[in-house]
Structure 1
Amino acid sequence: MNDCLKKVEIYTDGACSGNPGSGGYGVILLYNEHRKELSGGFCLTTNNRMEMMAAIVGLESLTMKCSVTLYTDSRYVVDSITQGWAKKWQANGWKRNEKEVAKNSDLWQRLLDLCQQHEVEFVWIKGHNGHKENEYCDQLAVRASQQKALPSDEVYENKV
């Protein structure tokens, strides 16, 4: 990690009532004494998409290149990035293998692009295990998923 960049911690979580169902994401950004909370949701989506959206929204909210430690309880997000799977799917035209298309390619593309703009370390934390920031992100995500008149997750809905 570059010592000259601002060091930001981002905590994220996604939630879905049903899978698919109405979903939400919660994000907490910490920089020195500054704290920012973000949340949002969609009327029909999946839990994995909300986990990814939380990471994307957190990274997209940064206004300059930063050194980021991004905490998530999603193995799907952490492993797909740290194991290089998402880059492999991208290189293969968003195919996991000859027959199977990679899911959520629209969000993987956004996340990979953001990882090029920032120095990002993805850290998995066990969910629902008493971690203060993770628990609060979960509350933000659940509340967001319960809002009335949520927007459409158009890419997901057009593929269903």
Structure 2
Amino acid sequence: MADIDDIDPNELDPNTIRFNGHELGVVTDLPGGVCRLVLKPVHQRYSTLTKLVDKHGGTVIDIERTASEVEEEIIRLVGREQETTGGEIPEPSGGQRYEVAGNTYPIRKALKQIGFRWDAEEEIWYTWDPEKWDQVFGPVIAIQQTNRRIKIPKCITPSLIPSSTPEGRYRISTDGACISNPGPGGWAAVIVHDGEVRRIMGRVDDTTNNRMELWAIGEALSEIPSDSEVEIRSDSRYAIKIASGEWNASENRALVEAVRRQVDRHEVEWTKVEGHSGDPENEEADDLAEAAVRGFPEGRSYCPDAI
């Protein structure tokens, strides 16, 4: 390939590649059927161009094609990418790529909302925007992390994008799980308050799924100050109807009374959510409850009187 240092600049005819008002770079024909593509930092908006830079180890790329062919291909690639992403293109960050390993449905849903992109070859989510990275790195519980990469295990799926909650109000997502039913059980709650997220969970050796659903509500309400304004979000119609007093309890009466005492301490709004529908906080509560049953991480164990 030709060395550009040996070429008279006056003999070159550079062409600027433009797309949607952005100057993506400059492409120049060199002798011998080669062109030189020099991409500008705005290339980081497009994953196809970013992969090209990664493959060639830099933004100066010599290609055995004509400049017009390369320009046409670049515009085709970024045009297709914009069309498939609906225009939601990550902003550049100066060249640092941030990566998240984890691919459960709630993780995919949350990262897409933030603006992360999926790298099918590496099987990771990534962004070039440090602000998007901070949205993940702040609230997430990570088992493995480095300077610009974190791994999110399935059992502790993060609630990355809590929906808005009025200041001072608590939003609590609860869930329960049980093996064999009856058998070993687990409960969990994700508590969101003034932008902060807290997670609690526990394990009971011999119980039922309904008991764990109720237990999660009682434990979560016991964790917050009296007279709080609270939204309880659960995928269990039984737990909501029983805890709220709408249905009478024919079983688990000691536990029901303990839970209702906690309900009476607060101003509670009840929300029934669909289980396994992609709601990030409900999915996380489910994962944590399942993890509690398995003893990972080690759960707490209570009797009803502790609620």
Q: Say whether the fold is shared (TM-score over 0.5).
A: yes
CA deviation string 1:39-59 (max 9, x = no partner):
001111100000001101100
Distance in 2, matches of 1:117 and 1:133, equals 24
1:35 aligns with 2:197: yes
CA contact (8 A) 1:45 1:153 kept: no
Deviates more, 1:105-114 or 1:42-51: 105-114
**Retained in 2: the 8 A contact 1:44–1:153?**
no
Structure 2: gaps spanning 5 or more residues: 1-166
**Is 2:265 the counterpart of 1:117?**
yes
Give 1:85 deviation, angstroms. 1.8
2:252 is the counterpart of 1:104: yes
Q: Structure 2: how far apart are the matches of 1:46 and 1:29?
A: 23
Q: Distance in 1 between matches of 2:301 and 2:200?
A: 18
Q: Which AA in structure 2 matches 1:132?
A: P
Kindly state the Cα deviation for residue 138 of structure 1 after the two structures are TM-superposed. Answer: 0.6
- Counterpart of 1:144, as a letter, is A
1:131 partner letter: D
Moved more, 110-119 or 134-143: 110-119
2:227 aligned partner = 65
**Aligned equivalents of 1:59, 1:150: Cα separation in 2:** 18
User: Aligned equivalents of 1:57 and 1:151: distance in 2?
Assistant: 11
Length-normalised TM-score, structure 1: 0.77
* Structure 1: unaligned runs, 5 residues or longer: 90-101, 156-160
Distance 2:265 2:299 in 1: 29
Question: By how many angstroms is 1:6 displaced?
Answer: 3.0
Equivalent residue number for residue 96 of structure 1 = none
Q: Which runs of 4+ in 1 moved over 4 A?
A: 148-155
Deviation at 1:63, TM superposition (A): 2.5
Q: Is the 8 A contact 1:25 1:140 kept in 2?
A: yes
1:153 Cα deviation from its structure 2 partner: 6.9
Aligned twin of 2:291: 143
Q: Does the 8 A contact of 1:66 with 1:118 survive in 2?
A: yes
Does structure 2 conserve the Cα–Cα contact (< 8 Å) formed by 1:43 and 1:151? Answer: no
Higher relative contact order (CA 8 A, sep 6+): 1
Structure 1 residue 79 displacement after superposition: 2.2
Q: CA–CA distance in 1 between the matches of 2:254 and 2:302?
A: 11
> What is the percentage of aligned positions where both structures have the same residue?
32
How far did residue 64 of structure 1 move?
3.2
**Cα distance in structure 2, aligned partners of 1:79 and 1:45:** 20
Q: Which whole-Å CA distance do the structure 1 matches of 2:172 and 2:303 have between them?
A: 26
